[in-house]
Amino acid sequence: MPEIISIGYFIRDLIVLVATSIIVVVLLAMGGKTKKNLGFSYFIRAFNSLLLAFSLIVVAQVIGVLLRTTVLNNDPTYSWIRSAMLTAGALLLLVSSVMIYLPFARGEYMIVPIASEPADSIRYGAYWGERGRAHLIFTELTKRYRMPGIAVTRDPPDMFRRKLGLKLIPVMWVSTVQHGDAVSPTKLEVIMDNLRRFLETANIDKVILIDCVEYFILENGEDAVLKFITSIKDFATLNRGLVIVTVDKESLNERTFSILTSELKPIADLEKTLAR
């Protein structure tokens, strides 16, 4: 073990090293999806600058830790290199921050609320129906009526879209499989948060398909799922949303089926509205 010259500075630099290393790991882990969702190359460069800044700080902190030991023994050359890397990291942090806001200051981008006039005939809220009819209505709303939609299903995204003849509709794959596109069925609060943000994103008509109620009940219990469904219904009613819930009577007990069908409107009502 190298002899430690200054235990206080050593511990300080070690703590900073661990903290910045965690930040780099988190940025790398979220990098793929983050860049995909950022969309514009300008913002992707800002993210890359942020990642590079923290990477430089990590390397500088490694040098800082070693400087406190007999490995580098406060070598002035490495002290200068460390200072240069910390300065470069700080400048890159500043650059990445400025890059986020500069396009808006230049007028190159602007945030415009997305809105459309509501359809007078559609009653927002939640509907229930058997799987085949629910899939048909969801497909009609997303293709014919061009409504933004999202599906919560047991099928992997590509399989689900292929089955319904869709190409781009976002799919939340409910599964215990460890996969980037999958979300655990027990994480109802995560699914709820995603659906809530989808409903609140824009002031336009939108539709959600929940295609796995039975699986949710199996993993979470009836009361938790009933609360989840009624909460989504309320969010949809307030935010111009339609929620279509597939219900298989044979897979549910009488109490659960009774509560669901009393809380949700029958899909026949929605079919009549669309047929007008």
CA 182/CA 86 separation, integer angstroms: 39
pLDDT over threshold 90, residue 111? no
> For residue 174, is it left (φ>0), alpha (ψ between -120 and 50) or beta?
beta
pLDDT at residue number 38:
65
Instruction: Report the distance separating Cα 104 and Cα 121, nearest Å.
Output: 39
Q: Other C-beta atoms within 10 Å of 251: how many?
A: 13
HSE toward the beta carbon, residue 223, CA cutoff 13 A: 0
pLDDT of residue 39: 63
Is the per-residue pLDDT at 220 higher than 70?
A: yes
Q: Residue 80 has what pLDDT?
A: 92
- Based on the fold, state whether residues 218 and 146 are members of the same structural domain: yes
pLDDT on residue 7: 73
Helix-helix angle 157-164:131-143, to 10 degrees: 90
pTM of the predicted model over 0.85: no
Provide the token pair at 96. 């990445």
State mean pLDDT over 223-245.
95
Q: What is the pLDDT of residues 143-194, one digit of tens each?
A: 988 899 999 999 999 999 999 999 989 999 999 988 878 899 999 999 999 9
Task: Answer yes or no: is 32 within a domain.
Answer: yes
For residue 140, pLDDT beyond 80? yes
User: Tell me, what amino acid is at 106?
Assistant: R
Burial environment of residue 137 by CB neighbours within 10 A (0 to 12, 13 to 18, 19 or more): buried
Q: How far apart are CA 177 and CA 173, in angstroms?
A: 10
In a domain, 179, yes or no: yes
Same domain, 202 and 164: yes
Coil/strand/helix, residue 152: strand
Residue 15 is predicted with a pLDDT of: 86
Domain co-membership, 150 together with 240: yes
Co-location of 199 and 234 in the same domain: yes
pLDDT digits (tens, 9 = 90+) for 79-91: 899 899 999 999 9
Cα angle: 188, vertex 194, 199; to 5 degrees: 120
Total domains in the chain come to 2
Residues 130 and 218 in one domain: yes
For residues 194 and 152, what is the distance between their CA atoms, to the nearest angstrom? Answer: 11
Is the predicted pLDDT of residue 2 greater than 90, yes or no?
no
Tokens for 65, please give them: 């830790």
- pLDDT tens digits, one per residue of 13-60: 788 889 889 988 888 888 777 767 666 777 788 888 989 999 999 999
Is the model's pLDDT at 3 over the cut of 60? no
Torsion of CA 51, 57, 63, 65, to 10 degrees: -120
Range of the domain at 165: 125-275
At 118, list the tokens: 């509501």
Residue 122: CB partners within 8 Å, gap ≥ 6?
Answer: 205, 242, 273
Does residue 24 lie in a domain region? yes
* Residue 221 and residue 131 share a domain: yes
3-state DSSP of 27-92 = HHHHHHHHHHHHCCHHHHHHHHHHHHHHHHHHHHHHHHHHHCECCCCCCHHHHHHHHHHHHHHHHH
**Banded model confidence at residue 1, pLDDT cuts 50, 70, 90:** very low
The enclosing H or E element of 206 equals strand 206-210
